A and B are shown apart, each in its own frame.
Chain A
Amino acid sequence: MKIIVCIKQVPGTSEVEIDPKTGVLKRDGVESKMNPYDLYALETALRFKQTHGAEITVVTMGPPQAESVIREAFMMGVDHGIILSDRRFGGSDVLATAYTLSQGIKTSGGADLIICGKQTTDGDTAQVGAELAEFLGIAHVAGVSQIHELSDREIALDLDLPLHIESVKVKLPGLVCVEKGIYEPRLPSFRRKLETAGRDIKVYTLDDMVDTDPNHYGLSGSPTQVKRIFPPESTNTHESWEGSDAELAERLFELLEDRKFLQQLR
């Protein structure tokens, strides 16, 4: 079984600066890391490698330095890596990104199962997975919280929906977007770092794609235009209460309930 996991390099901290003129994330000089949500997708795939002997390839789109997240995936146990890197891919919105990924996956020969994380921590759209599956014409589900069974023909899993959990079977080839916490991601291994230091990473440019029309990629292939990006407001106000232990406990409970910090047990 062949599994592809889509991963992305994102800024290393949540305190990202945004260029006020262009509305684009400032990535220069910022430490980067693998998108934390992708770690859950990787862990899901790596478990199938252990149980089903699956062969895992990671695919990422980004500048050449995004190679580091592929190396990190190798350190977790991934077999192959592909980077889609071309200046003409720059400025892609979600649709162009999903299209580029679909083209790269076609060029690579495809997979039985594609696994994506819930979303990225920089773009936060959570749309690429579904759009990628649509471009490939395969079945897809998002919000996967548990996987029950995987066979050559289908995968049985639970979807964590707002009011209920839905158990479904998805025909393969298919694409699943897994939730944070589906499994605890393993840590990268120093032994594997030493073993995979010389492993080749395939680089695909626009010229390697099935569709080589530059108008379908990058800025020109992107129908979305960002008008403005701004960080959400945060405040640091606090209040203190006085009263008996019982009153304070009651008040705290009400506040937590009001602010929806308390979840009803299922």
Chain B
Amino acid sequence: MSASYKKFNSDDLAELRKICSPDRVIPGAEVSEDFCHDELSGTFHRPDVLIKVASAEEVSAIMKYASKNRIPVTPRGQGTGLVGGSVALFGGIMIDLSGMNRFLELDQENMTLTLEPGVLLMEISKFVEEHNLFYPPDPGEKTATIGGNINTNAGGMRAVKYGVTRDYVRGLEVVLADGSIIEIGGKVVKNSSGYSLKDLIVGSEGTLGIVTKAILRLLPLPKFKLSLLVPFPDLSSAIKAVPAVIRANSVPTAVEFMEREVILAAEQFLGRKFPDNSSDAYLLLTFDAAGKEELDLAYHAAAHTCLEAGALDVFISNTTERNESIWSARGAFLEAIKASTTEMDECDVVVPRLHVAEFVLFSHSLQKKYGARIRSFGHAGDGNLHIYVLRDELKEEEWKKTLNAVFNELYAKAKTLGGKVSGEHGIGIAKRPFLAESLSPREDELLSGIKQIFDPLNILNPSKVVGTK
């Protein structure tokens, strides 16, 4: 497929330097290695040119040029993706949107925030919370851009109660493959006006268009928050308690499960003790509310439910310091596991809540079968699991074979349970074969057809999500 793209040359560079100021158009050889990969290990491709764009008009002009000359274009935020979505597989143009990072409007009456795609997730929460407003999606990677979050339909911890990024995107400005600029959705709360293009773009990983502006929906900020750390004798009893906890009185904002060995790894990694590490498995529940009484009612009901379901105790974390002691460890799990091995890959599968326990126990059983360490923690409340296969001392060949075999088993099992390939990281290149495998031929045709309509020349982030099967 790459053969059909125009070979990028110095004339192209000169032309692109007429669109954006030359200092923002960086030739491939001078592009920092950071832009040649994302957080997916083992994938490295250098773009022929990196353009740090400043406006939708610039993106539009670049797309017009790219489409006229058939040059592949890879949009990119902070490069924190986990599946290779923002890697320039075929070289060509990389559009860096991280410099388009302005807040454009906070509309307090409509409770919306209009912003550019390069704004970081952590900047959004800080900005809106100062105005007593709340942007609920809460993916772990706070230095990711909102553009990246929209393109992967990122989820995060609060999905149990509040849903995911798509639920908070009201409107988008998008530059299409031919350079036209469209505005879809808007500040409206309801919308039954034809097919929802906005919802198609959300989660499209830059394969259908480039998001240059977004209107996000906000909620009033819940002032009171509390976490419960609930020890259980084993993982199975912990996860089996989850459906009852979610049914009890008030939906928690987050339900996470964690095992002792991951906690110990985090303790070692941070050089700091977790408030409790005496049990094999824990649930971490969080609650938020507008008032203290409401919060107390919610957590009391959940605490009683946990004890009835076999919890050893229920520990209450009700201050900044206590929350910090728990969440700093929770935030370090991924890095701690990473530090404990040579290389790892992750399965971000999502299954219906009822089957979480079965799925996690199944993933554990694969450790013995394939002789590889497998670690997991994650969102027990929304069924999105993060299962890590660790390379340790395996040789390259053996590692690839083992990883593939384990992943095949995991995705096949997920499918039988009614699960999906990716809960929140997206497909990119890493999960493309598994997505293709999971789709029916008709579904596959529909996805490819949509891509064809939006991007007939296949220049927008090619071979991501859909494409070669």
A residues with a Cβ closer than 8 A to B are: 12-13, 31, 33-34, 36, 39, 75, 183-191, 193
Structural contact, A36 and B316, CB atoms closer than 8 A: no
Cβ 8 A contact of B315, one of A12, A33, A34, A189: A189
Number of A-B contacts (CB under 8 A): 47
Which residues of the partner chain A approach B319 to less than 8 Å between Cβ atoms? 12, 33-34, 36
Tell me which of B212-220, B268-276, B381-389 binds A.
B268-276
List 7 tightest A-B contacts by C-beta distance, closest first: A187-B315, A190-B314, A184-B273, A190-B303, A36-B321, A188-B316, A187-B275
Shortest C-beta distance, A4 to chain B (Å), equals 23
Could you tell me which residues of chain B, from 381 to 436, have a CB within 8 Å of some CB in chain A?
none
Cβ 8 A contact of A184, one of B229, B275, B313, B317: B275
Structural contact, B275 and A186, CB atoms closer than 8 A: yes
Which residues of the partner chain B approach A188 to less than 8 Å between Cβ atoms? 315-316, 318
Structural contact, A190 and B316, CB atoms closer than 8 A: yes
Q: Which single residue of chain B is at the shortest CB-CB distance from A186? A: B275
Shortest C-beta distance, A121 to chain B (Å), equals 10
Known contacts A12-B319, A39-B321; A187/B229 CB under 8 A: yes
Does B181 interact with chain A (Cβ within 8 Å)? no
Does B248 interact with chain A (Cβ within 8 Å)? no
Does B55 interact with chain A (Cβ within 8 Å)? no
Q: Which single residue of chain B is at the shortest CB-CB distance from A31? A: B292
Does B325 interact with chain A (Cβ within 8 Å)? yes
Structural contact, B314 and A191, CB atoms closer than 8 A: yes
Shortest C-beta distance, B310 to chain A (Å), equals 13
Shortest C-beta distance, B284 to chain A (Å), equals 11
Q: Which single residue of chain A is at the shortest CB-CB distance from B316? A: A188
Does B366 interact with chain A (Cβ within 8 Å)? no
How many angstroms from the CA of A191 to the CA of B272 in the assembled complex? Answer: 26
Q: Which single residue of chain B is at the shortest CB-CB distance from A191? A: B313
How many angstroms from the CA of A255 to the CA of B299 in the assembled complex? Answer: 45
Chain B: interface secondary structure? mixed
Structural contact, A187 and B316, CB atoms closer than 8 A: yes
A12-B319, A31-B292, A184-B273 given; 18 more Cβ-contact pairs under 8 Å: A33-B319, A75-B316, A184-B274, A185-B275, A185-B322, A186-B275, A186-B276, A187-B229, A187-B275, A187-B315, A188-B315, A188-B318, A189-B314, A189-B315, A190-B307, A190-B314, A190-B315, A190-B316
How many angstroms from the CA of A13 to the CA of B323 in the assembled complex? Answer: 13
How many angstroms from the CA of A208 to the CA of B91 in the assembled complex? Answer: 83
Which residues of the partner chain A approach B272 to less than 8 Å between Cβ atoms? 184
Q: Which single residue of chain A is at the shortest CB-CB distance from B272? A: A184
Which residues of the partner chain B approach A186 to less than 8 Å between Cβ atoms? 275-276, 315
User: CB-defined interface of B269-311 with A at 8 Å, one 1/0 digit per residue?
Assistant: 0001111100000000000000010000000000100010000
Q: Quick one: which of B317, B322, B325 has the most chain A CB within 10 A?
A: B322
Which residues of the partner chain B approach A31 to less than 8 Å between Cβ atoms? 292
Shortest C-beta distance, A44 to chain B (Å), equals 14
Shortest C-beta distance, A195 to chain B (Å), equals 11
How many angstroms from the CA of A190 to the CA of B317 in the assembled complex? Answer: 11
Shortest C-beta distance, A160 to chain B (Å), equals 17
How many angstroms from the CA of A39 to the CA of B318 in the assembled complex? Answer: 13
How many angstroms from the CA of A23 to the CA of B303 in the assembled complex? Answer: 42
Which residues of the partner chain B approach A34 to less than 8 Å between Cβ atoms? 319
How many angstroms from the CA of A31 to the CA of B322 in the assembled complex? Answer: 16
Shortest C-beta distance, B428 to chain A (Å), equals 26
Which residues of the partner chain B approach A191 to less than 8 Å between Cβ atoms? 307, 313-314
Which residues of the partner chain B approach A190 to less than 8 Å between Cβ atoms? 228, 303, 307, 313-316
Which residues of the partner chain A approach B228 to less than 8 Å between Cβ atoms? 190
User: CB-defined interface of B320-356 with A at 8 Å, one 1/0 digit per residue?
Assistant: 1110010000000000000000000000000000000
Structural contact, A184 and B307, CB atoms closer than 8 A: no
How many angstroms from the CA of A75 to the CA of B303 in the assembled complex? Answer: 14
Q: Could you give 20 example pairs across A and B, Cβ below 8 Å?
A: A13-B320, A31-B292, A33-B318, A33-B319, A34-B319, A36-B319, A36-B321, A183-B273, A184-B275, A185-B275, A186-B275, A187-B276, A187-B322, A189-B315, A189-B316, A190-B303, A190-B307, A190-B313, A190-B316, A191-B313
How many angstroms from the CA of A4 to the CA of B275 in the assembled complex? Answer: 23
Shortest C-beta distance, A69 to chain B (Å), equals 11
Could you tell me which residues of chain B, from 221 to 249, have a CB within 8 Å of some CB in chain A?
228-229
How many angstroms from the CA of A187 to the CA of B292 in the assembled complex? Answer: 19
How many angstroms from the CA of A183 to the CA of B274 in the assembled complex? Answer: 10
Shortest C-beta distance, A243 to chain B (Å), equals 13
Shortest C-beta distance, A68 to chain B (Å), equals 11
